[in-house]
Amino acid sequence: MTDVSGVVDPHIPVLLRPLLAAVAPVAGDWLDGTFGAGGYTRGLLAAGAARVIAVDRDPLAFAMARGWAADFGPRLVMQQGVFSQLDRYGDALDGVVLDLGVSSMQLDQAERGFSFMKDGPLDMRMSQSGPSAADLVNAASEAELADILYHYGEERAARRIARAIIAARPLTRTLELAAVIAACLPRPKPGQSHPATRSFQAIRIAVNDEYGELVAGLAAAERALKPGGALAVVTFHSVEDRIVKRFFQAGAGGAGNANRYAPATITEAPTWTPVTKKAIGADAAELALNPRARSAMLRVARRTDAPARGPDAAALGAPQIPERRR
């Protein structure tokens, strides 16, 4: 299969064509904070980037790239790490790209435990280290599980599912957990998503602290980009998109707060100039080629020459769950 940059790759980078159009011209030093299968990195290099620093917390990403990474020589620098620390890997950057969520290569491997469609160990760790999804679902209290499912997955049946998980413990396999969740919800109609979709998303987000990473990563990009540098973020669900939207809005001069009764946040010296007025989704041609793009949304802004804001600047709009429940 050939992706939109002309590279043969079974994992098609979502919204690559509109992303490259929005950040054009592509030149200088870029950082791909979610390297994955390398689709965005190769797209940036083909479009004119002098160098791309490719960051990923999953060691599998770099193992998969061994067959082609050397073709780019010093233009490609691979760095295992988290994008929340991207300003440690590069500064005065011309652009940063973030493709959030789980990658196709992770979903496709049953042994990684991300998919509710394939039986595997209940893992979900992007870095392949630290506490797993099994550790979370078997140790958390009912209230903690309900909070995670509701705030991170926007699951309305969070309390019912949390009670069922507690009753079914211990749970060690993905299909075991998926069955427990499905039993709590109505049978899906044709075209509807699997009943476990939201819960698996929520647990994965909690295991990998994805919202914490996103908040810190946006702030790090603000520090690392040079004036005029572009930040492009691809999200896959409403909470992620809301965090990015409010971060850019506040940095551009003002934004409504998460609390609608609170006054708007005003930035005296704007740190961002929006490139996309609204989030960009996939067109019909991309959806036909890549159904995964159905929920993807792209937002892009360019850095001004104003000093970077504090480390909490990106927290506006992020779900707030007590630290002990993360």
* Residue pair 225/98 in contact by the 8 Å Cβ criterion: no
Label residue 229 by pLDDT band (50, 70, 90): very high
Percent of the chain, pLDDT > 70?
88
* Residue pair 81/212 in contact by the 8 Å Cβ criterion: no
Is the torsion defined by CA of 60, 67, 79, 83 positive or negative? negative
Does position 323 have pLDDT exceeding 70, yes or no? no
User: How many Å apart are CA 114 and CA 144, to the nearest integer?
Assistant: 20
235 closest CA partner among 252, 210, 259: 210
User: How many Å apart are CA 261 and CA 259, to the nearest integer?
Assistant: 5
Q: Which architecture does CATH list for 16-104+210-325?
A: 3-Layer(aba) Sandwich (3.40)
Tell me the β-bridge partners of 79: 55
Fold classified for 109-208: DNA polymerase; domain 1 (1.10.150)
- The pLDDT score that the predictor gives to residue 106 is 72
- The reply to whether domains 16-104+210-325 and 109-208 share a CATH topology is no
Residue extents of the structural domains in the chain: 16-104+210-325, 109-208
* Predicted structure pTM score: 0.88
Mean pLDDT lowest among 41-45, 97-101, 141-145: 97-101
Q: For residue range 13-46, what is the model confidence (pLDDT) as tens digits? A: 999 999 999 999 999 999 999 999 999 999 999 9
Instruction: Dig out the tokens for 88 from the structure.
Output: 């440690």
* Residue pair 80/59 in contact by the 8 Å Cβ criterion: yes
Residue 252 Cα distances to 161, 266, 269, angstroms: 40, 9, 8
